[in-house]
A and B are shown apart, each in its own frame.
Chain A
Amino acid sequence: MHVAMHMSDGLVNAPTALGFGLVAILGLTVAAYQARADLDERTAPMAGLVTAFVFAVQMINFPILPGASGHLLGGALVAILVGPWVGSLCIAIVLVVQALLFADGGLTALGTNITNMAFVGVFTGYAVARAMRPLARRSRAGLLTTSFVAALVNTVAAALAFVVEYTIGGAGGAGLGTVFTLMVGLHVLIGIGEGVITAATVGAVAAARPDLVYLLREPAPVVRTTGEGVAP
């Protein structure tokens, strides 16, 4: 058995799928614009390699229960390591490639999948990590706790986004309560696994190259300009 979160075609109706397709395109455009600021002129090669990393990581299977394995989704991981804009861009590109080349996740579900995992998931995870940043900077245990909680919340938030989409245009005959319990219950379990692995990974990166952890970076120093003719 393989636990995945990629929605297939037919889970939500056509108007909902198209609506979220537009949301995804809009989000991608904004993320592509904002990502430039985070990576300065190294943007493309670095982001390309980080995306390849996410893709490779999703191929490493972890045991969940005997007989069932799952893989890291990596939303909170990339948000903590490379920031939310580059992170969401990476996850979105992974999803597009998986849908177009690997038949993983439906083509019409691409919009909802990108919205859930690349935007809702990554940004909620990053918001949690950002809120806990003082703790993360204080000690290694704090950083691990922050990563764990961010990954857990990220996974559950992505599942909740699915429940919202199902409410708007669900194509099945299931009661909302059932879907909610099933999705949230399942993803709390997945999220705990995701949290443990994310924490261990961030811990390993922070031990070797703390300067690469986006969350721990100090804000860029304010450039003071003096003299005339400089716009405020």
Chain B
Amino acid sequence: MGAGHAHPLYLPGVSPVHRLPAEVKVVAALLLAICVVATPREAFSVFAGHLVVLAVIWTAARIPPLWILRRSVIELPFVVLAVLLPITGPPPTIDWLGFALSEPGLLGAWNILVKGTLGVLISLTLAATTPLPDLLLGLQRLRAPALVVTIATLMLRYVDLIVAEARRMRLARLARGHDPRFLWQTGATARGVGALFLRTYERGERVHLAMLSRGFTGAMPRTVDDAPTRRQWAAGLTPVAAAVLLAAAGWNLA
């Protein structure tokens, strides 16, 4: 099966980070992100420390920093808010090129930008080193409800197919004279979405019947079951310990 095994942000590799069980990496990434968010925004140097921790992980995982940086330019949705904060924030203000910028507003914008960016870098590191099946197995071992894991498994198995179907439907519309420009494409595209729902739902009915005929009882069979060792947990949580120390140092600085 070609679909559902790789995702666009995965960087194949055999580094120690790649080989860590997924649940260790998910927990570590979550804790790292919490440490970053819990760092007071005035502790500027500490954020550089967090970046160093990440850089060490990238070295261990053999991820070229440029590879990560190029992908970190994912749209930052709340940049609008970050830009508006210094302009609309409360006094005191400082003068910058003739603009009166609010000091708390500037701090707020810095806070959102630095924590948002570090968060994206952490997520990217997790995504780059964790293939799909591992992640699903990891979620299962982290005691996510079985139903949720099964739904996520099927969703990831079929998402490429559905996306490709949407693309074929668009091509078919184009071949029949559809002119996808500006607002008047909405009607046809939305009807296409309706048709896509019907096809997906009916595919779901077929998939379910096929699964039943192969002995599906409502739960996916577990294929591998070796829990991570204590050493693997220790290795995964080492960067977290560094980040905790950094965040604590930040609170002492601030």
Contact = CB atoms under 8 A, between A and B. Distances in A.
A17 B183 CA distance: 38
B25 to A, nearest CB: 10
Interface in B63-111: 71-72, 74-78, 80-82, 84-85, 88-90, 102-109, 111
B90 A49 contact: no
Interface of B: 7-9, 26, 29-30, 33-34, 36-38, 41, 71-72, 74-78, 80-82, 84-85, 88-90, 102-109, 111-116, 118-120, 122-124, 126-127, 130, 132, 135, 145, 147-148, 150-159, 161-163, 165-166, 182-183, 185-187, 189-191, 193-198, 200-201, 203-205, 207-208, 211, 216, 218
Contacts of A23: none
Contacts of B107: 173
A11 B119 CA distance: 11
A171 B111 contact: yes
Interface of A: 1-11, 13-14, 17-18, 28-29, 32, 35-36, 41-53, 55-57, 59-60, 62-63, 66, 72, 81, 89-90, 93-94, 96-97, 99-104, 106-109, 171-175, 178-179, 182, 186, 196-197, 199-205, 207-209, 212
23 contacts: A7-B77, A8-B116, A8-B119, A10-B115, A10-B116, A11-B81, A17-B37, A36-B147, A42-B205, A43-B147, A49-B155, A49-B162, A53-B196, A59-B163, A93-B152, A100-B127, A101-B9, A107-B33, A172-B81, A174-B89, A182-B84, A196-B186, A205-B198
A10 B114 contact: yes
B200 A81 contact: no
Contacts of B104: 173
A172 B111 contact: yes
